Structure 1
C-alpha cells in the first residue's frame, strides 16, 4: 500500500547540495523534506572516495552557506575533516534526511509534483506531493567506464571505477593502469606509486597541471582582473613551477585553465606529487587504449603493456534521466544536465530546481542553494499575498 505525503519542498539527494539547500530553506522557515537513496548523507564522500583525498581548493571556497569551517581547520581540508564538517552542518541546521529512499519517477500535474519513492530496505512505496522539487543528485550520480574492445570479454585482471578505489595497498608490486588525467586520476596514480605499484596513466587529451597555490592566487586575482589575463599569469606560474611537460606526454590546452573550466566544465589538475613521479620515470604516460587482449593493453600509438589491474578515473554522469521521466520543468537535457549554461542553470519551470549541476564545485553549490531558497521564498510570499487579496 502506498503512503501519500504532502510537503512544500522535496529535495532529492543528501549530498552537499541537498544539505545546503535544506539549510537555507530551514533558516527561512520553509518546510522541506530531503530523500536520499543511500543509507547516509554525502555518500560520495563517505563511500566512494579514496583515502588520501583532500579538498583541492582552500577552505574558504568550499564552505556551505551560513556556516564557515572552524578557525583551526587546515587550509586544505582532508576527506575526514570534510565529512565531519558535513555531519556537523546537518546537525546545526536540523536536517534529517530520509535514507534508503530511491526515487522512481517524478512528474508535474495539476500544479503539483508527484514523486514516487521506494524504500530500499522494506520495498514499500511512498508518494510525495510537492509544490517545489529540488534535484540535488548532482553531476556525479554514476561512475562512467568507457566501452573498450576486449575489456569485458577478455581482460584477465581486475578493473574498477575510481569510486571503488580506496588505496594502493593491495596493488603493491603489480602493473596498474590508471585511465584519466584529471584530479582523481593523477592523485590515484601517485597514491599507487607510493605503494610501489608499477603505474602507467592514460592521458587522452590536453590538461592543465597547476598547484594548489596557483589556483588560490588565480581565484583571488579573478576578483580584480579578467579571466584571460589571470589565465596568462597562471600558465606562466605553472611553466615556472613544472617547466615544459609536453615531452612527458602532458600537453597544455590552448585555452587557459579558468576559461577552460567555464567553457568545458573541466577543472585544472592540481598536482599532489604525480608530476615528479612522471618526470622520474616511476609513472609512465601512455595514450588512449585501442583494445585489450587478455592482460595485454594495446594503445592507439601501437605500444603495448601487460597490466594486472585498471582503475578508470573517467568521471561520472547524472542520474536524473532515471527518474525524471518527463521534464515538466523544462530544465534538463537528455544527458541529465541543465539545458541552460551557468549561471542560469539552477531554475526551471513549474517549481523544478537543480542544485550542484553548475560545474562550479562547492562554491557553486552554495550559490545554487541560496538562489533556490530565495526564489522559493519569494514565490511562497507572492502566493500568500494573492490569497489574502482574494
Structure 2
C-alpha cells in the first residue's frame, strides 16, 4: 500500500520542483526522513520498517550512536536495567548482565540495525529543514564535509514526513567561567573524558553533580586521583537498587498502586536508610520529592553506583560553586581557594534543533525541546515528528517511535484514498 502512494507522489512531483535551487542536488525520498542515527532514530526506522514503510536516516557523524561511541567514558554502563532500555521489536540477547556495559549496548545497536536492514547515510549534517507550502513537502538540506581543498557538498532531500531524532544531547554545554583562559591545566568536557588513568595522583575538579559527574568522580577515585565535586544546586541521590530490585523499576511498579507523593516519601526513606544524610557532606536535597521534581523540571535523580561511599570516606571532596579560576587555582563562592591540576566539566548537553529546523513552532527556541510535554510532544504539524525528547530515556524513545509509525501508516492510508488521489 505504501509503495503505491510513493509511485503516485513521484508522478505528481515535477523535475522543476525538485530542482528549485539549481545549485543544489535534490533527491526525492521514499518515506520519512529521520535526522539522527542514535537509538531513537533506529527505533523509529525499525517501527516504520515493520509496517512496510521505508525511511532514510541522515547522520552527521560517521557511525551509529555517535554519542555513545565517541563521547562517553570507558566505564559507562546503562543506569537502568536492560528491560527498560531495549528498543522496540528486539530485546537484548540473553546472557547480558542487568546493566549492560557501553560496548555491550553498542553491539546491541549494531545488531538492531542489521536485523532491520537500517543503513543510515553517514557524514550528512542537516543544516536546514523547512516545509515547502507550495507542494506540501519538507526540504532537508545536508552539508557533507569534504576533504581539505574541496568544496562542501550540499544535497537537498525532499520528503513528506520529517522525524527529528537528533536527541536531547546533540551539543555539549560548556559554561563560561571567569578566568578560564588563565587556568594552566586542561579543562575538558566529559564528552572528551575516557578514563581516570590519565589523572592518577592529580587533583581534579569535576563541575556538575548529575549522573555523569558523580560517576566520573568515582572513576577518578578508583584510579588514585584526588577528585573534588562542585555541587552548586540541590540534587536527589537515590540508591540504584532497593531490596535487590531496580529503584526505577520498583518506582514504576509502586506508581500503579500509590500516589507520586507516597512513592516519593518511600524513596526518600530508603535513601536515608541506605545512603545516609548527604547534607552533612554539602549535598542538599530539593524540598520536593524526586519523582515530582522530575515531572516538574525534567531533572533525573542521580542513581548512586558507589560515589556516596567515596564522599563519606573523604576520597571525594564536595565544593561550593566556582567564583573564578586563577592560574592553577580555583576560588569558590564561599571564599575557599584550592589548587587543581585539571577541571572536568560534567555540565551536560543540549538540543540543537532550533539551529537547523526552520518555520516550525513545534520546538522551543529556548531549549530545543517540543513545546508540548510528554506524552504529547511526539507529533507536530505538516508531517513533523519528534522521537527521543521525552526526558524519559530509551523507554520514552520506544513509546514515541511506535506512535510515529502508527500515525504515518494511517496518514499514508488516507493519502491513498480514492478522493485524495483524484485531487
TM-score (ref. length: structure 1):
0.97
Q: Where do 1:39-78 residues align within 5 Å?
A: 39-78=62-101
Deviation at 1:389, TM superposition (A): 6.7
Answer with 1 or 2: which has the greater Rg. 2
Equivalent-residue separation in structure 1 for 2:397 and 2:145 (angstroms): 27
Q: By how many angstroms is 1:17 displaced?
A: 0.6
Structure 1 residue 362 and structure 2 residue 385: aligned?
no
Q: Map of 1:17-166 to 2, 5 A cutoff? A: 17-109=40-132, 110=134, 111-121=136-146, 123-151=152-180, 153-166=181-194
**Structure 2 equivalent of residue 15 of structure 1:** 38
CA contact 2:239–2:275 (8 Å) conserved in 1? no
Partners in 1 of 2:192 and 2:34 — Cα distance?
A: 26
1:224 positional shift: 2.6
Give the Cα–Cα distance (whole angstroms) in 1 for the partners of residues 107 and 198 of structure 2: 27
Shift of residue 374 of structure 1?
A: 0.9
Equivalent residues of 1:176, 1:308 under 8 A apart:
yes
Cα deviation for residue 72 of structure 1 reads 1.4
Larger deviation, residues 280-289 vs 254-263: 254-263
- Name the CA shift for 1:155/1:375 in 2 (closer, same or farther; >3 Å): same
Q: Which 5+ residue runs of structure 2 have no aligned equivalent? A: 1-22, 242-246
**Residues 1:333 and 2:364 are matched in the alignment:** yes
2:12 alignment partner in structure 1: none
TM-superposed deviation, 1:338:
1.0
1:174 and 2:210 equivalent? no
> How many residue pairs end up in the alignment?
387
Q: Pick which of 221-230 and 29-38 moved more.
A: 221-230
Give the secondary structure class of the aligned counterpart of 1:91. helix
> How well do the aligned residues superpose, as a CA RMSD in angstroms?
1.2
Which SS does the other structure have where 2:308 is aligned? helix
- 5+ residue gaps, structure 1, are none
How much has 1:388 moved relative to structure 2? 5.2
**Residue 187 (structure 2) pairs with residue 187 (structure 1):** no
After TM superposition, the structure 1 stretch with the greater mean CA deviation from structure 2, 354-363 or 254-263, is: 254-263
CA displacement 1:139-194 (0-9 Å, x = unmatched): 1011111111111x211110111111000111001110000111000000000011
Give TM-score, length-normalised by structure 2: 0.89
- Check 1:388–1:125 CA distance in 2 against 1; reply closer, same or farther (3 A cut): closer
Q: Is residue 3 of structure 2 the alignment partner of residue 3 of structure 1?
A: no
Q: 2:82, 2:240 → 1: CA distance?
A: 12
Aligned-partner Cα distance in 1 for 2:261–2:93: 34
Q: Does 2:234 align with 1:206?
A: yes
Query: For residue 235 of structure 1, what is the aligned residue in structure 2?
Result: 268
State the secondary structure of the residue aligned to 2:416: helix
Equivalent residue in structure 1 for 2:312, among 241, 265, 279: 279
- Whether 2:328 is the aligned partner of 1:266: answer no
1:366-377 equivalences in 2 (<5 Å)? 366-377=398-409
Partners of 2:157 and 2:364 lie apart in 1 by 24
Q: Which residue of 1 aligns with 2:3?
A: none
